[in-house]
């Protein structure tokens, strides 16, 4: 990833952080509330299954769009990337250009930009749509 792409990723992260504040305020004001109460879980309910090291087969593999993984010291923490348990508006790690699919059969992959193991069903603020669609490859 070149410097221009990294700056664009940082800009997107800042834009999403600002949007998150507006969405959070709307939630506090009960705007658009669903009458069915959601399942109550802590925000970080999925992180306990992501505590292991990224297997070498995934740490050295390209993303689903062929992007190389950043060096370990350049990867963002889940916290800094705004990692969330679960998808957001149909966007999830499994359909992100940075996602490195599971290679060892544990149903958990990795990311070219975020440190540690990553579930395909989760989301973070670095999410970018896939460049290639299934069948284009």
Measured distance CA(127)–CA(66) in Å, rounded:
16
| Confidence at residue 51, expressed as pLDDT on a 0 to 100 scale | 86
| Confidence at residue 58, expressed as pLDDT on a 0 to 100 scale | 96
The ranges of the chain with pLDDT < 70 are 1, 3-7, 9-11, 13-36, 38, 133-137
| Confidence at residue 52, expressed as pLDDT on a 0 to 100 scale | 85
Torsion of CA 55, 60, 62, 67, to 10 degrees: 120
| Confidence at residue 45, expressed as pLDDT on a 0 to 100 scale | 82
Q: How many helices (H) and strands (E) does the chain have?
A: 3, 2
| Confidence at residue 44, expressed as pLDDT on a 0 to 100 scale | 80
Contact 109, 101 (CB under 8 A): yes
Residue 129, SS3?
strand
| Confidence at residue 49, expressed as pLDDT on a 0 to 100 scale | 83
Domains of the chain, by residue range, sit at 3-111
| Confidence at residue 73, expressed as pLDDT on a 0 to 100 scale | 96
């Amino acid at each position: 990833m070149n410097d221009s792409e990294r700056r664009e990723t940082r800009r997107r992260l800042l834009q999403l952080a600002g949007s998150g504040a507006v969405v959070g305020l709307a939630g506090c004001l009960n705007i658009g509330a669903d009458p069915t109460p959601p399942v109550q879980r802590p925000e970080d309910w999925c992180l306990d299954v992501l505590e292991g090291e990224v297997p070498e087969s995934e740490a050295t593999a390209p993303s689903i769009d062929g992007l190389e993984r950043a060096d370990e010291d350049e990867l963002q923490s889940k916290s800094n990337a705004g990692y969330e348990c679960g998808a957001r508006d149909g966007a999830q790690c499994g359909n992100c250009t940075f996602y490195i699919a599971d290679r060892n059969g544990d149903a958990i992959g990795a990311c070219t930009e975020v440190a540690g193991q990553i579930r395909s069903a989760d989301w973070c603020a670095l999410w970018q749509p896939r460049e290639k669609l299934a069948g284009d490859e």
